[in-house]
Amino acid sequence: MKKLYLVLCLLWSSMAHSQITVQATVDGYGNKIIIGYWKDFTYIGDTLRLKKNKAGFKFESSEPVYFKLRTIGPDTYTPFLIGFPGDTISIEKDTKHLVTKGGAESYNTFLIRLEAEMREKFFGTSPDYNTLTQYLLDRSEDFFSTFKHPQKQLIKDIHTLSIITNYKLYPIMRKYSGNATIMDSVANFLKGQGAAEVHGDDKLKYLDKVNFNDPKIGFANITDIMMMNNLIRILRMHAIEKDTTLKNIDEYVIENNIIKDLFKESRYRSRLLAYNLHYRINSYIEYPMQLAGADDFITDFRKEKFNTDLLPAIEKLYSRQLASIGSLSNGAAAPAFKLPDTKGKPVQLSDFKGKVVYLDIWATWCGPCLKEIPYLERLKEKFRNKDIEMITISIDTKIDVWLAKVAAMKMQGIQLIDSNGSENSKIAKDYKVHGVPHYVLIDKNGRIASASAPRPSMEAEVEKQINELLQE
């Protein structure tokens, strides 16, 4: 017995919504429909039971919705179909094939038929991806020449992008991911800074079928965004191979810069930046320190022109992550620590009983941390010979890298390291650190005065708090 699976992939949610309805009336396709969709970058799945071979579901969206029709049986279909706000789409079966009614019905039915054609034409063969790409582009051009729909151009642009991404870009990545020269040529071609090059049977010229900076392209299927994100990661790895100094730079920073370099301000660029940032925050839920700098990245993303529908999901997830980590309460006993200094000598918090302590938890790979160091050194000088110790604690794993940075920046005073790294840092876990740089003020009695103290660059505020503690 055939089974019908409908997998719904939502692009993103928005403040203003309109209802979309999808119905299935498919005799003989079994009694189960599995519904999955993307909401706020999160995959959500559900299961419905057919009643008399009928099932339906509704959802709210202000943007086009992509859902994947997957059937298991003699006739297998796996295309992505499209729905627009206000559409009512039904999936039915004629004497031979599945068809759709409502919405962009001729386009959706075309996708189903195209999937069947591809299986019939190429099943059991090993066609090169250029042949597949050209076949799909030719068939699509024939269809769109007579297709009528208010959103015809948008549908065509997104359709073409999906073909190029999956049948051109993906195979190039698979074949040449270890070849920095070819990957660079792909990047340059995307930027419009180089002519199409030929590498074996792979012609990059197919990429010019898509304008990735077209504002409309940002509505692309989430799977296409994920595919492009894989390219960004490959380019990041090659960038590190070419410039070893990047090894000490946060991976997200590198990928963020690559995205901005490849794409002008557009929905597509904002979508890639958002997906990358959201992935970062969500992936490291067990490792709070991997959220380092996330607030700075979010601040940067707020400046993106096409962030309206993306920013709320990111901020919501970040807030949830921070809430799960928690924070130290002011007045609580400061967690003890015992860490080595630059000479390997162990230093512990109890050594400074009777003094105010200003902790700077940082890392050499953290750009904002490095920007704060000159301000910290100036702060040390202002409070020289006072009852205060300003202690920096690095969470680097490589002691030699840490020592080199301390020397290069002429950092004075007590320098300590928790070389377990960001994922396993005891100091980060004990002090509820979710990102670096992180500053803590401890009073003379060894209690938390400020669990999230002002940065050294906030000179007036941090000096005020220190002076108040010194007077106690």
Q: Assess whether 312 and 343 both reside in one domain.
A: no
Characterize 285-321 residue by residue with b for buried, 16 or more Cβ atoms within 10 angstroms of its Cβ, and e for exposed: eebbbbbbbbeebeeebeebebbebbbebbeebbeeb
**Inside any domain, residue 136:** no
CB 348 within 8 A of CB 427: no
Domain end: 297, 325, 353, which one?
325
Instruction: For residues 199 and 287, state if they share a domain.
Output: yes
Q: In this structure, is residue 146 part of a structural domain?
A: no
- Give yes or no: residues 309 and 342 share one domain: no
Residue that is last in its domain, among 282, 300, 325: 325
Pair 312, 165 in one domain: yes
Burial of 207: CB neighbours in 10 Å, binned 0-12, 13-18, 19+: middle
Kindly state whether residues 257 and 361 are assigned to the same domain: no
Is the separation of the CB atoms in 2 and 74 below 8 Å? yes
Token pair, residue 461, equals 């505020």
Q: Is residue 253 part of a domain?
A: yes
If asked whether residues 249 and 355 sit together in one domain, one would say no
**Which CATH number covers residue 386?**
3.40.30.10
Question: For residue 322, what are the CA distances in angstroms to 81, 142, 293, 304?
Answer: 37, 52, 13, 23
- Token representation of residue 155: 């549908």
Residue in this structure with the two tokens 């582009």, named with its chain if needed: 137
User: How many structural domains are present in the chain?
Assistant: 3
Q: Specify whether 161 is located in the same domain as 225.
A: yes
* Rounded Cα distance, 297 and 201, in Å: 40
Q: Does residue 209 sit in the same domain as residue 347?
A: no
Asked if residues 396 and 370 have their Cβ atoms less than 8 Å apart, the reply is no
Answer yes or no: is 331 within a domain.
no
Burial letters 151-178, b for 16+ CB under 10 A, else e: beebbbbbbbbbbbbbbbbbbbbeebbe
SS3 assignment, position 400: helix
396 and 345, same domain (yes or no) = yes
State the residue range of the domain holding 364. 338-470
Question: What does the alpha-carbon distance between residue 436 and residue 413 come to, in Å, rounded to a whole number?
Answer: 20
Q: Are residues 40 and 119 in the same domain?
A: yes
Q: How far is CA 224 from the centre of its chain?
A: 13
How many Å from the N-terminal Cα to the C-terminal Cα in the chain?
79
Domain boundary (303, 325, 347) is at 325
Contact by Cβ (8 Å): 91, 53: no
Question: What token pair was written down for 167?
Answer: 């049948």
Query: In this structure, are 17 and 70 located in the same domain?
Result: yes
Sign of CA dihedral 303, 307, 312, 317: negative
CA dihedral for 328, 330, 336, 337, sign (positive or negative): positive
Answer yes or no: is 289 within a domain.
yes
185, 204 in Cβ contact below 8 A? Answer: yes
Residue 133 lies in a domain: no
**Residue 142 domain flag:** no
For the entire predicted model, the pTM comes to 0.69
Whether 140 is covered by a domain: the verdict is no
The answer on 381 and 304 residing in a single domain is no
Tens of each residue's pLDDT in the chain, 472 residues: 344 434 434 333 333 457 778 777 655 554 444 545 566 666 555 544 444 445 566 777 777 878 777 665 556 667 788 888 889 888 877 777 788 899 999 999 999 899 888 888 887 777 778 888 899 999 999 999 999 999 999 899 989 999 988 888 888 888 889 888 888 888 888 887 566 666 666 777 788 788 887 777 777 777 888 889 999 999 999 999 988 888 767 788 889 999 999 988 888 898 899 988 888 787 655 555 556 567 778 888 999 988 887 888 888 888 877 777 667 888 999 999 999 999 999 999 999 999 999 999 999 988 788 989 999 999 999 999 999 999 999 999 899 999 999 999 999 999 999 998 776 788 988 898 877 888 999 999 999 999 889 999 999 999 999 999 999 8
